[in-house]
Structure 1
Amino acid sequence: MLFAVMVGALSWTGTAQAHGSVVGPASRAYHCWEEWGDDHMNPAMEQQDPMCWQAYQANPNTMWNWMSMLQDGLGGQFEARIPDGKLCSNNLANFESLNRPGPWKTTTVGDNFSIHLHDQASHGADYFKVYVSKQGFDPKTQSLGWDDLDFITQTGRFAPAQDITFPVRTSGYSGHHIVFTIWQASHLDQAYLICSDVNFG
């Protein structure tokens, strides 16, 4: 039994290494892996981090495959192709638990902060689009839809690299918000839609 679990974990990790995600501010899936990946059998997760616990119970792949939230062939038609309420999972069944409202752990940021993408495969980017949930939207009780977002910025291209960081400037936000990042990878028409929970201090 232990051997089967280890083999499964290795296969998930191998798949995840082919892709990337936002690690700062931590995406929902990345936070769960970073915080609990080495301690995922700890029953304390249910009380200390209930959103990661429910995600792991729904599908352990959500945690282990935190880099693999990609959709091929969206052609930039994100709002038409990804339904409201499915943004944080990129409309992928394996990551459905990431859409669930609740007390997701947050990263504290100021009005000006940086997005940090880690991509072991060094795909590069055609662009990033960054949004912030509107003031008054409550991630603890509401699922994210397109009308809940304020568009903040779109970047230019980035050359292939394992780590890409760029600045984001905002104003007028306070409390718990979702930073929603679209990463359009350069090597294919491959898009990653990523939710990071932040607290504007």
Structure 2
Amino acid sequence: MSAPVSPGRRLALRALTVAAAAAALLATALPGSAFAHGSVTDPASRAYSCLKRWENNHQAPDMAAQDPMCAQAWTADPSAMWNWNGLYREGVKGNHQAAIPDGQLCSAGRTQSGRYAALDAVGPWKAAPTNRNFSVNLYDQAKHGADYIRVYITKQGFDATKQPLGWNDLELVSQTGNTPATKWKQAADGGVSISVDANAGKRTGQHIVYTIWQASHMDQSYYFCSDVTFPAK
């Protein structure tokens, strides 16, 4: 006959069971989180921005009224927020416009079976007030480095709250060459800082900053939409 299990040991076994179940649930809820990569953290990409604002309160009923675009994104697929650092495609071979149709730029062409599709939704995304001379901070969590980083901004006259984003709506405003992660100018959060001058084009009001990060470790391309508001002239 087996020896009786003490109350203390029963509690310890129960705690281990609960912990194991929680770990299994987390692994299911956050596919790919063990292979984290990176994102634009300032001005924050849409997924990262929604996570920052609602991570600890993402089931709040008032999110729909306060932050409708994040609310629809959380409802569509919460894993897209938790996996803010996994928005990429492989094997694009530099043909970004061929790989990603107009209207799908923010989701990297509905990558990963459409997990990020809600990021393409048109509407009043919360926009960060930004000077026309600013920096894009890209957090390279996995230290992939870059073959290049390209930063685009929507043209003046584009209405980010009413129009789907297409390639012809963008203007290239800054880019880097091949740069190992070890040689990047480090931003405050440990990523790379890219200087941007948005004065050309006389931009005012709400815009989308679109960043393409071509990682160096393999043919892996990352795409990020960040919503900003430039001051009036």
- Same-fold call, TM cutoff 0.5: yes
TM-score w.r.t. length of structure 1: 0.93
* Contact map agreement 2:32 2:86 (CA 8 A) in 1: no
Greater relative CO, 1 or 2 (CA 8 Å, sep 6+):
1
* Contact map agreement 1:16 1:66 (CA 8 A) in 2: no
Partner of 1:87: 105
Superimposed CA distance per residue, residues 89-145 of structure 1 (whole angstroms, 9 cap, x where no aligned partner): 001211000001111011111111001011221111111111101111111111100
- Specify the code of the residue in structure 1 equivalent to 2:69: M
Instruction: Return closer, same or farther for 1:81/1:62 CA change in 2, 3 Å cut-off.
Output: same
1:71 aligned counterpart, secondary structure: strand
Two-structure CA RMSD over aligned residues (Å)? 1.9
TM-score w.r.t. length of structure 2: 0.81
1:38 aligned counterpart, secondary structure: helix
Residue 183 of structure 1 pairs with residue 213 of structure 2: yes
Number of residue equivalences: 200
Partner of 2:141: 120
* Contact map agreement 2:40 2:136 (CA 8 A) in 1: yes
Distance of 1:117 and 1:39 partners within structure 2: 25
Larger Rg: 2
* Contact map agreement 1:152 1:170 (CA 8 A) in 2: yes
Distance of 1:189 and 1:118 partners within structure 2: 18
Query: Deviation at 1:73?
Result: 0.6
Partner of 1:102: 123
Partner of 2:51: 33
Structure 2 alignment gaps of length 5 or more = 1-17, 183-189
- Specify the code of the residue in structure 1 equivalent to 2:103: G
Partner of 1:111: 132
Query: Deviation at 1:191?
Result: 0.3
Distance of 2:25 and 2:196 partners within structure 1: 38
Query: Deviation at 1:153?
Result: 2.0
1:114 aligned counterpart, secondary structure: strand
Structure 1 alignment gaps of length 5 or more = none
Distance of 2:130 and 2:81 partners within structure 1: 24
Higher helix share: 2
